[in-house]
Chain A
Amino acid sequence: MTQIKENSGSWQEGMAKSITFIVTKDCQLACKYCYLVGKNEKERMPFDIAKKAIDYVLSNREMFNESSVIYDFIGGEPFLEIELIDKICDYLKEQMFILNHPWFNSYRFNFSTNGLLYNDPQVQKYLHKNRTHLSVGITIDGTKRKHDMNRVYKDGHGSYDDVVKNIPLWLEQFPGSGTKVTVGSADLPYIVESVMHLYSLGIKDVNINVVFEDIWKYGDDVLLEDQLLQLADIIIDKELYKDHACSFFSDFIGNPQDPVLDNQNWCGAGKMLSIDAEGNFYPCTRFAKYSLRSKPPIIIGNIHDGINTNLLRPFLTLDRCTQSTRECIECEIASGCAWCQGENYDAADTPTIFQRATAICKMHKARVHANNYYWSRLSRIMEKEELNKLRKESLRCNI
């Protein structure tokens, strides 16, 4: 049987509580597609705020009753605040142990970093100290020209060279790790070379997606489809599918969805808890002020008053059909068409999370075409292999 590598799932497959500390709103980079419109160098989380947030979360077990937890540290760039993060993690470990909290038996510290500080001695010291409870992803967008088109320093120059040098150390310390790649309109022509480049760097798990924002131009869908068709051919011809994964290709996308059985919300907003430097709570970081272009933040509580559970009710009862247009509900290729609740809210005609943004509609259709082609070719290969196997067995019997 042909082996096909799939993209790795998240730790505990989405069953863990996600607690996000927005430790800083600063970043060395000013990526062109970054949704964080309010980044700044001033807002850094004081330790005391983190401590109070932890005390609140760990003392409210009824509300936070998941058996596992992922503590996410995001920014800006989280490793800019490694000293603070180290202190927060130490306090978390101590408190979970002292309180005999079930999460002591099942926790992770998670980072999505731009990788620039990965080899910094202080960061390395932290990683060694917490080695068995870490998940670290470095974002590299592909080839130098694609990466440097978007992932630029504040003065405009690209960051590729400073990131790529840290990839070998990262893969050595976290073998099998994947990277997240974001594709905008301008860098569509570089998808194939970028995925191949990442594979050549030893990154076998490439999570890639087009941005959800409404930035797509006429003809972008054709470009995307063309790139993905080329990518499909290369992955299949070189048999890379056996030990490399690219999230553009998945066997669950492009099917109709049942309005009752497949009515889940795509996004986990509301299930997560995000905490900012002022001690405000959000259903996801995307609802914090620095993430929103045109809507007020949705603050669901704070470290002093706790969570206002009424504000969580829309998030916890939201389903696919209630927020989708009739066209989306009846779409023949709906499965795998993703959305971001924060972007939905930001782009909606009224301040609601119940209006699904459809900016990626054409891009999803293009992806489905290429995906169908990919699986059509791959399944034929598998069929042939099976036939060959049967033929050989039958020959053996005849002999």
Chain B
Amino acid sequence: MQYLIIILDESANSFCYYPNPNREAKLINLSLLKKAIFYAQKNGLSINFLLGKAKLPKEYLKEIDKVSHIFIMSQNHISDDVFDVFVSDLTLDDNLSETHSNSDSNIILRIDKSQIAELSSKVIALTGKFKRINITIQNIDLFTQKDFDIYAQELEKLSEVFENKINIIGDEECNVLSDRIVLEKMNNCDAGVKHITLAPNGKFYICPAFYYEDDNNSVGDLQNGINVKNQQLYHLSYAPICRVCDAYQCKRCVWLNRKTTLEVNTPSHEQCVVSHLERNTSKKMLIKIQKRGLQVQANEIPDIDYLDPFDKVNRWK
């Protein structure tokens, strides 16, 4: 385990694939927060704090300051005290050109599948404002062939912008295009392996999505520690499809996996295709960048004849 995610406020917006919980503000109990921070300190974990609508009282900030951390919060709840990773919902923030910028920070851009045709134009509006743009598409599991086609086109348009304007690495990153170029192995979310989430109720969850979906999904509490049953299934080596895959930038979201295939270690067809469209666009972009004579520390991305690695490992084919 490397870090802990602590949901400081019930109203914290989603920063990932799960839907916004749309809950009322309710801060975690201060004594729980103290115990959680102590737990992190004892176990050598850093902390990602999820903030919501509530302003953090000074005593909370004082406790938080004791441990290495970052804040993740929605632009709607932005405060001068706390700002590390900014989450923006495209559904909420139509005018991204007016977005509060910070070239030292990351932005997570959450976009619904119904809006992917606007993806490139929205992202272009953000270029130059942040160190890194993380695109997270909602409702991937509902993608149709038409959506795949649109997403491929949008990635193509985005890659033209990134490939001509910037040098990709060390300059400005966009997860769905630049990550695959620099990665040499899987860089998944690794919920349940590298990080675990503490909810305001004092219980641990694999990630915030599991908490907001059903608070009975807990995997332990602060008193008794973390107990993830079948924890091996969260590891890459126990994922038959993912362990043969080289779409290294894929988040391999275990919550989406469970939602779509009922198994945390098995991704849906849609998840795989989306990640491979990104992988293949990254490959094309890398070739173009190299043709421009730019030095990129990257391995060649091999040619493959599938968009879904399931085709490689289907044992009954």
Q: Which residues of A contact B (CB under 8 A)?
A: 264-265, 270-271, 298, 309-311, 313-314, 316-319, 322, 348-355
Q: Which of B60-68, B262-270, B276-284 contacts A (4 or more CB under 8 A)?
A: B262-270
In the bound complex, CA of A357 to CA of B310 (Å): 26
B214, chain A: closest CB distance, angstroms: 13
* Cross-chain contact A317 with B240 (CB below 8 angstroms): yes
Asked whether, in the complex, the Cβ of A310 is within 8 Å of the Cβ of B269, the reply is yes
Structural contact, A313 and B261, CB atoms closer than 8 A: yes
Write out the residue numbers on chain B whose beta carbons fall within 8 Å of the beta carbon of A317.
Answer: 240-241, 266, 310, 313-315
- Asked if B306 CB lies within 8 Å of chain A CBs, one says no
Q: Which residue of B lies closest to A351 (CB)?
A: B262
Residues of B within 8 A of A311 (CB): 261-262
CB pair B229 A309 closer than 8 Å: no
Task: Provide the bound-state CA to CA distance between A265 and B313, in Å.
Answer: 13
What are 18 A-B interface contacts by the 8 Å CB criterion?
A: A264-B315, A265-B315, A310-B260, A313-B241, A313-B261, A314-B261, A314-B265, A316-B314, A316-B315, A317-B240, A317-B314, A318-B240, A318-B315, A319-B315, A352-B230, A354-B233, A354-B238, A355-B230
User: With a CB–CB cut-off of 8 A, which chain B residues contact A355?
Assistant: 230
Q: Are A270 and B261 in contact (CB under 8 A)?
A: no
Measured CA separation A318–B269 after assembly (Å): 16
Q: State in angstroms the CA–CA spacing of A46 and B268 once bound together.
A: 33
Instruction: Identify 20 new A-B residue pairs, CB closer than 8 A, beyond the known A352-B230, A354-B238.
Output: A271-B316, A309-B269, A310-B260, A310-B261, A311-B261, A313-B241, A313-B261, A313-B269, A316-B310, A317-B240, A317-B241, A317-B266, A317-B310, A322-B238, A322-B265, A349-B230, A351-B262, A354-B233, A354-B265, A355-B230
Nearest CB in chain A: distance from B292 CB, A: 40
Residues of A within 8 A of B265 (CB): 314, 322, 354
B246-263 interface (Cβ within 8 A of A): 260-263
* Residues on the B chain within 8 Å of A319, using CB: 240, 315
Kindly provide the distance from the CB of A59 to the nearest chain B CB, expressed in whole angstroms.
Answer: 20
Asked if A313 and B233 make an inter-chain contact with CB atoms under 8 angstroms apart, the answer reads no
Shortest A157–chain B CB gap in Å is 42
Is the beta-carbon distance between A322 and B240 smaller than 8 angstroms?
Answer: yes
Q: How far is the CB of B11 from chain A (nearest CB, A)?
A: 29
CB distance from A300 to the nearest CB of B (A): 9
Shortest CB distance B72–A (Å): 28
B229 and A314 form a contact (CB under 8 A): no
Top 5 nearest A-B pairs (CB, nearest first) are A317-B240, A349-B229, A314-B263, A314-B266, A310-B268
Measured between alpha carbons, how far is A264 from B313 in the docked complex, in Å?
Answer: 12
Residues of B in contact, count (CB < 8 Å):
23
Q: Choose among B230, B266, B315 the residue that contacts A348 (Cβ–Cβ < 8 A).
A: B230
**Are A352 and B315 in contact, with the CB atoms below 8 A?**
no
- Chain B nearest CB, measured from A277 CB (Å): 23
Q: What is the chain B residue whose CB lies nearest that of A349?
A: B229
Residues in A neighbouring B240, C-beta threshold 8 A: 317-319, 322
For residue B314, which residue of chain A has the nearest CB? Answer: A316
- Counting chain A CB atoms within 10 Å of each CB, the highest count among B229, B263, B268, B314 belongs to B263
Residues of B within 8 A of A265 (CB): 315
| Most chain A CB atoms below 10 A, which of B229, B230, B262, B268 | B262
* CB < 8 Å neighbour of A270 from B141, B313, B316: B316
Residue of B141, B229, B238, B266 near A313 (CB, 8 A) is B266
Q: A264-B315, A270-B316 are in contact. Are A313 and B230 (CB under 8 A)?
A: no
Q: Which residues of A lie under 8 Å from residue B315 when comparing CB positions?
A: 264-265, 316-319
**A352 and B263 within 8 A (CB):** yes
What CA separation (Å) do A353 and B258 show in the bound complex?
12
Interface bits B205-237 vs A (CB < 8 Å: 1, else 0): 000000000000000000000000110010000
Q: A350 to B265, alpha carbons, bound, how many Å?
A: 13
Residues of B within 8 A of A351 (CB): 262
In Å, the complex CA distance between A352 and B230 comes to 9
Determine if A314 and B230 form an interchain contact, defined as CB atoms under 8 angstroms apart. no
Across the interface, which residues of B come within 8 angstroms of A350, CB to CB?
Answer: 229-230, 233
Q: How far in angstroms is the closest Cβ of chain A from B195?
A: 19
How many angstroms from the CA of A310 to the CA of B270 in the assembled complex?
9
Pick the residue among B141, B262, B269, B316 that contacts A314 (CB under 8 A).
B262
Determine the residue in chain A with the shortest Cβ distance to B219.
Answer: A350
Within the complex, the shortest CB–CB distance from A219 to chain B, in Å, comes to 30
- Distance A350 CA – B262 CA, assembled complex (angstroms): 11
Q: Which residues of A contact B230 (CB under 8 A)?
A: 348-350, 352, 354-355
Distance, CA A48 to CA B268, complexed state (A): 32
Interface centre among A298, A318, A351, A352 (most CB of B within 10 A): A352
